[in-house]
Structure 1
């Protein structure tokens, strides 16, 4: 009664079900408290099975809003097979508008494979990897840069050691209609949702759809197109639900982000001023920005130079920085 995760879902029942995953967790104001994680099942007979999730980090809103809208719009008659929707996977983090859960400090995307006797974030991660992900052919986890980061709109997969499975993931990633995509080299023991999906036998697809702790017209349109496109590519739907069908503007450019030298990191307290925009092509030695020290006004700002060339993929939005903060990253274009 005091451990694990409980639910009353019937994954094989046709129709539409909206319910909760419940995680018991005693707190000061409520000794029998349960963390409630909303979940929606939409099923129409046998067929492909896709899990859509957002709110892995609580301050990344494009996926949360889009999947909430999908829950309201998607009816069983529109699909073949099953769509499972987790619009705010780390629900405590979503409600607190934070990256990590305020209950246990848990970063869900670093908690896999989880622990069934741990605190809520680790119990949820264990349930996802051991029980929910294995029920699905595809897991699509929607991210953005969150409150502190601006991120280039980029699809993501993690490298799969099985060449056939890796090619399937690559084709699904291309189907999203995103301008950029990259393959993460996180290894078989990755604590991420994509690592968990791979270990569970599902094909994992993810992406970064915006940032800044907000949602924009462009980021929401891109997210809607990606969700619709994935469900069509998975042969679950025959047309879009969230938005009008709109082809991508061009082929996806693949990127590689595999070395720490592709980022610039703060080594002390300071204030960061960028010199380039997301998507800019830069060369080794180009100016990335300046680092100011407002506690020593007589000291000139320090120019920051790129150690590697490529395309600027992300940057820190918060000007005030501490040692260890990633200020900017540049990804290497690779062959398609």
Structure 2
């Protein structure tokens, strides 16, 4: 009664099922409290299956809003196969507008494979990796830069040792229609949703769909197009559910982000001023920005330079920075 995760999903049933994943968690206000994470499962016969999730981090809104919209539009009669939607996976973080859960400090995307008797975040991660992910062919986990980062819009996969799965992941990533995509190399034990998807035998897809703790018409359109294109590529739907049919496909530039040297990190308390825009092509030694010290105005700003070349993929939005904060990153263009 006090541990685990409770649900009433009938995984074999056709039709539309809406409800909650419930995690018992005693708090001061309510000793028998349950964290209620909304889900929708729509199934129409045999066919491909996909789990769409957002709110892994609570301050990343493009996926949360578009998946909420998708839930209202999904109809079993217009799909083939199965679509499961978790628009606010780390619900406590979503409701608190925070990256991590205010209940246990849990970062869901660092909590896999989880623990069925652990904290709420650990219990959710365990359920996702061991119960929900294995029931789906494809997992799409939608991210953005959150409140602290601006991010080049892009899709993402983890490098896979199994060539057939890796090639299928690349094919689906191309179908989503982004102009940039990067391949992460966090290894088979990665504590992320993409690591969990691989261990569950599913194809994991993700991406950074915006940033800044807000949304824009461009970021929402990018997210809608990626979801629609993926559902169409899988054969689950024939026409877009969130946007309009767009036959154009941008040329995809693949990127690799796998080394700490591709980022510049704050050496101490300071104020960061970027010198380049997202998407800029830079070389090793190029100026990345300046680091100011408003507590020592007699000191000149410090010029920061890239250690590696590539395409600028993200930078810190908050000017005020602490030692260890990532200030800016470049990704390496690659070909497969």
Range with greater deviation from structure 2 (245-254 or 74-83): 245-254
Structure 1 residue ranges without an equivalent (≥5): none
Partner of 2:229, secondary structure, is helix
Q: Aligned runs of 1:85-124 on 2, under 5 Å? A: 85-124=85-124
Where do 5+ consecutive residues of structure 2 fail to align?
none
**Matching residue of 1:194:** 194
> Within 1, Cα distance between the matches of 2:12 and 2:94?
29
Q: Superposed, which structure 2 residues align to 1:294-305 within 5 Å?
A: 294-305=294-305
TM-score scaled to structure 2, two decimals? 0.99
Deviation string for 1:217-245 (max 9, x for gaps)? Answer: 00000000000111111111111110001
Matched with 1:291 is 291
Matches within 5 A, 1:271-282: 271-282=271-282
Whole-angstrom CA distance in 1 between matches of 2:94 and 2:248: 30
CA distance in 2 between partners of 1:90 and 1:11 (Å): 22
- Return the TM-score normalized by structure 1: 0.99
Partner of 2:47: 47
User: 2 CA distance for matches of 1:166 and 1:106?
Assistant: 29
**Secondary structure in structure 2 of the residue aligned to 1:228:** helix
Tell me the CA shift for residue 335 of structure 1. Answer: 1.4
1:11 maps to what in 2? 11
Between the aligned partners of 1:246 and 1:98, the Cα distance in structure 2 is: 34
For this pair of structures, how many residues does the alignment match? 336
For 2:247 and 2:103, locate their aligned partners in 1 and report how far apart those are by CA, in whole Å. 42
Q: Hey, what's the Cα distance between the residues in 2 that align with 1:286 and 1:91?
A: 41
Separation of aligned partners in 2, 1:180 and 1:55: 22
Corresponding residue number in structure 1 for 2:144? 144
Give 1:1-336 correspondences, 5 Å limit.
1-248=1-248, 250-336=250-336
Does the 8 Å contact 1:178/1:248 carry over to 2? no
Q: Report the Cα offset of residue 248 of structure 1.
A: 4.3
Moved over 4 A (4+): none
SS of alignment partner, residue 195 of structure 1? helix
Local SS of the residue matching 1:169: helix
Name the Cα RMSD after superposition.
0.7
For residue 166 of structure 1, give the secondary structure of its aligned residue in structure 2: helix
In structure 2, C-alpha distance between the alignment counterparts of 1:94 and 1:248, rounded to whole Å: 34
Shift of 1:247: 3.5
Whole-Å separation in 1 of the counterparts to 2:308 and 2:265: 14
CA offsets 1:174-233 (integer angstroms, 9 cap, x no match):
111011011110100000000001100110000100100001000000000000111111
